[in-house]
Amino acid sequence: MTSITLPAGFSDLEPFIDWALPSADERQTKRRTATRAQLKAFYDAMLPRLEAVLAAADAYPLGKLPAELHPLYHMALSMAEVAPHIELYGGAPGVPYAFEETRFIAAHGAQDTALGLPPTVMA
Amino acid sequence: MSDINHRWMEKYPELGSGPISTEPYISPEWYDREKDKIFRKVWLCVGRASEIPKAGDYKVKRLAAADTSIILIRGKDQKVRAFHNACAHRGNTVVTETGEETFGSSKAAIVTCRFHGWVYDAEGTLKQVPSEQRFYDCFSKDKNGLTPVHFDMWEGFMFVNVAAEPESSLTEYLGEYATHFAGYPFDDLDYGFTYSTYLDCNWKVAHDAFAEAYHVDTIHAGSFPNVFSTGLQNVKLMGPHRTCAVCLTLNAKPTPVAGIANALAGASLVSVRGESMLPATINPDKRDDFAFELSVLFPNTLLHVAEGIWFTHQFWPIGHNKTLWEGRYYVKAPETYGQRWATEHAMTLQRNAWLEDTATMEDTQRAMQSRAKLEQHLQDDEILIRHGAVVVDQFVNA
């Protein structure tokens, strides 16, 4: 983990590098077990940078993102996971009044999203 | 002059308006009859043909409510066929299952029983028996292929019927339901996410929780806080199947991250879109507040279609108070990293809404099992639940 760095122009996000998680399962667990303060700090840091991060990824065709940009893209995906909690759930780390999250199994949950593969389980 | 409060009862008076018994939700005996009279009799949707795209690809689907597992395998002739996953030797499963769904691929388009190596091809023929000469004269490979299961397709969906002789073809079974949804671009929107869990509730408790929009303002106050149900429209009952339009109003501008996502892709249910991809049968009056079509393909598949997105819920009974739920969410395959991210955002919100939906189910089951209340009361916009209860009763008592 400690060896991960962000590309030039995004070093301001390096304090949040622990949100650079490849799979949906890892990002969900990180969000679910974070504190309110950690969620808010990550959201506040990412929001003004989100469009620039996605634009940097969009310089490459889907499936061809260079390895050095994967952590940055993974952080944007963590933002997709975290945003509803700040914007809709009053900062709560869990989904309020919900079924136990750990019992929901995502078929695509272990996949590295930056690879751009279809999430469908197939033969 | 029609009464707006009771418009569905006026359209479908044969369903009645009285309370509905909770007994079918909590009785093990009733569930045994459902297995015999429903799940071993009717056509069941078991996936998309695109899940097994190449010759030799196969999927094994467990059907606990029909006491079997089904091998769906694509042959060298590109046709998909269905068989019970049971070996003619001593009854072992031919494909070793790793869960509710097991996927595999065989270049030779064969499956081999792990137990003693019996080999079957994709037409179900028994091709090879190790030490065949040690079996006796009464044994013949020709008579010991895989046991076929009736199979057919509609709009890329695979269906099986485990009855020895189905009472109707799939086309007859689907009836008007098939024409209602014909032409929706299911195959173009083939980027599919799947979630699943086991719920400690009857399959109809799960069905009912998803089959109305009355709960939107309460249950989804978290994930869709500015969305308000404006009621059902265009309810249509079609034999054992049913459909309606769910209409919602959106009262506020999107949140900051949702705004970025909406600009990148219209993948979210809660975003406004332009030109229609819906068949003329769906939202026929072109209402502005149309959100999605909510339908039930009897017995256990809910199919929802909207602009740019469709999703299904399937409720597979495991026991009278245990259900496997599978939720699948489909959009057009993203073409850029930005679109892929927007899809993730939309899927995350939808997952959270499903977490809200499933939250009540086990509570409902436990409360019903207390027998403190022996019936439930349904309002006019819960007509899909009423129709479901009536249809189940008709099948079970047939």
Best CA proximity match to B272, nearest among B227, B311, B312, B231: B227
* Average pLDDT, integer, range B157-173: 98
* Average pLDDT taken over every residue of chain B: 93
Give the percent of chain B with pLDDT over 90: 84
Answer yes or no: are the C-beta atoms of A113 and A24 closer than 8 Å: yes
**Cα dist. B40→A95, B37, B149, B195 in Å?**
38, 6, 11, 25
Contacts of A107 in chain B (CB under 8 A): 193-196
Compute the nearest-CA separation of B348 from chain A (Å).
6
Contacts of B210 in chain A (CB under 8 A): none
Name the residue among A76, A83, A120 with its Cβ closest to that of B51.
A120
Whether residue A123 and residue B53 make contact (CB cut-off 8 A), yes or no, is yes
Computed from CA positions of residues B361, B367, B369, B373, in that sequence, does the dihedral angle turn out positive or negative? negative
Most A-contacting residue of B340, B345, B356 (CB-CB within 10 A), to test interface: B340
B276: which residues sit within 8 A by CB, 6+ positions away?
B283, B307
Q: Does B367 touch chain A (CB under 8 A)?
A: no
Whether residue B338 and residue A57 make contact (CB cut-off 8 A), yes or no, is yes
Contacts of A83 in chain B (CB under 8 A): 255-258, 345
Most A-contacting residue of B48, B217, B337, B350 (CB-CB within 10 A), to test interface: B337
Distance CA B264, CA B266 (A): 7
Q: Does B170 touch chain A (CB under 8 A)?
A: no
Is residue B38 scored above 60 in pLDDT?
A: yes
Q: Which of residues 259-318 of B touch A (CB under 8 A)?
A: 260-261, 264
Tokens of residue B265, six digits: 């892709």
Burial degree of B371 (CB within 10 A; 0-12, 13-18, 19+) = exposed
Name the residue among B197, B260, B336 with its Cβ closest to that of A104.
B197
CA atoms within 13 A on the CB side of B250: 16
Contacts of A117-120 spanning 24+ positions with Cβ under 8 A: A117/A63, A118/B191, A118/B192, A118/B333, A119/B191, A119/B192, A119/B193, A119/B194, A120/B50, A120/B51, A120/B190, A120/B191, A120/B192, A120/B193, A120/B194
Interval A23-64: pLDDT, tens: 999 999 999 999 999 999 999 999 999 999 999 999 999 999
Answer yes or no: are the C-beta atoms of B82 and B150 closer than 8 Å: yes
Q: Does B51 touch chain A (CB under 8 A)?
A: yes
Strand segments (E) across A1-123: 105-106
Compute the nearest-CA separation of B37 from chain A (Å).
31
Q: Which helix (H) or strand (E) holds B301?
A: strand B301-306
Interval B326-381: pLDDT, tens: 999 999 999 999 999 999 999 999 999 999 999 999 999 999 999 999 999 999 99
Q: Does B54 touch chain A (CB under 8 A)?
A: yes
Name the residue among A77, A95, A105 with its Cβ closest to that of B195.
A105
Of the pLDDT bands very low, low, confident and very high (cuts 50, 70, 90), residue B275 is low
Is residue B65 scored above 90 in pLDDT?
A: yes
Distance CA A109, CA B219 (A): 25
Using DSSP's 3-state secondary structure scheme, residue A45 falls into helix
Crossing angle of helices A50-57 and A70-87, rounded to 10° = 140
Answer yes or no: are the C-beta atoms of B306 and B293 closer than 8 Å: yes
Whether residue A80 and residue B359 make contact (CB cut-off 8 A), yes or no, is no
Is residue A120 scored above 90 in pLDDT?
A: no
Whether residue A99 and residue B192 make contact (CB cut-off 8 A), yes or no, is no
Whether residue A95 and residue B257 make contact (CB cut-off 8 A), yes or no, is no
Interval B113-147: pLDDT, tens: 999 999 999 999 999 999 999 999 999 999 999 99
Backbone angles phi, psi at B159, to 5 degrees: -125, 145
Is residue B161 scored above 90 in pLDDT?
A: yes
Best CA proximity match to B72, nearest among B169, B6, B162: B162
Tokens of residue B169, six digits: 């073809």
pLDDT for res A123: 59
Backbone angles phi, psi at B231, to 5 degrees: 95, 175
pLDDT for res A67: 95
Is residue B152 scored above 50 in pLDDT?
A: yes
Is residue B268 scored above 70 in pLDDT?
A: no
Angle at B342 between CA B341 and CA B346, to 5 degrees: 120
Is residue A1 scored above 50 in pLDDT?
A: no
Is residue B300 scored above 60 in pLDDT?
A: yes
Answer yes or no: are the C-beta atoms of B272 and B314 closer than 8 Å: no
* A-chain residue closest to B72, CA distance: A123
Q: Does B57 touch chain A (CB under 8 A)?
A: yes
Whether residue A95 and residue B336 make contact (CB cut-off 8 A), yes or no, is no
Compute the nearest-CA separation of A3 from chain B (Å).
24
Q: Does B49 touch chain A (CB under 8 A)?
A: no
Distance CA B4, CA B8 (A): 9
pTM for the whole structure: 0.94
pLDDT for res B125: 98
* Average pLDDT taken over every residue of chain A: 94
Q: Which of residues 77-116 of B touch A (CB under 8 A)?
A: 101, 103-105
Compute the nearest-CA separation of B286 from chain A (Å).
30
Of the pLDDT bands very low, low, confident and very high (cuts 50, 70, 90), residue B267 is very low
Contacts of B78 in chain A (CB under 8 A): none
Name the residue with higher pLDDT: B228 or B297. B297
Answer yes or no: are the C-beta atoms of B17 and B194 closer than 8 Å: no
Whether residue A88 and residue B103 make contact (CB cut-off 8 A), yes or no, is no
Of the pLDDT bands very low, low, confident and very high (cuts 50, 70, 90), residue B226 is confident
Of the pLDDT bands very low, low, confident and very high (cuts 50, 70, 90), residue B2 is low
Whether residue B355 and residue A98 make contact (CB cut-off 8 A), yes or no, is yes
Is residue A103 scored above 70 in pLDDT?
A: yes
Contacts of A121 in chain B (CB under 8 A): 51, 101, 103, 194
* Average pLDDT, integer, range B3-26: 94
Whether residue B197 and residue A99 make contact (CB cut-off 8 A), yes or no, is yes
Compute the nearest-CA separation of A62 from chain B (Å).
5
* Average pLDDT, integer, range B158-182: 98
Contacts of B9-16 spanning 24+ positions with Cβ under 8 A: B9/B380, B9/B383, B11/B235, B12/B235, B12/B237, B12/B383, B12/B387, B15/B383, B15/B386, B15/B387, B15/B390, B16/B386, B16/B390
**Cα dist. B80→B190, B214, B386 in Å?**
19, 40, 36
Whether residue A107 and residue B193 make contact (CB cut-off 8 A), yes or no, is yes
Of the pLDDT bands very low, low, confident and very high (cuts 50, 70, 90), residue B89 is very high
pLDDT for res B274: 55
- Order of strands, sheet of B191-199, starting from the edge strand that comes earlier in the sequence: A105-106, B191-199, B322-331, B309-319, B301-306, B290-297, B241-250, B227-238
Contacts of B191 in chain A (CB under 8 A): 118-120
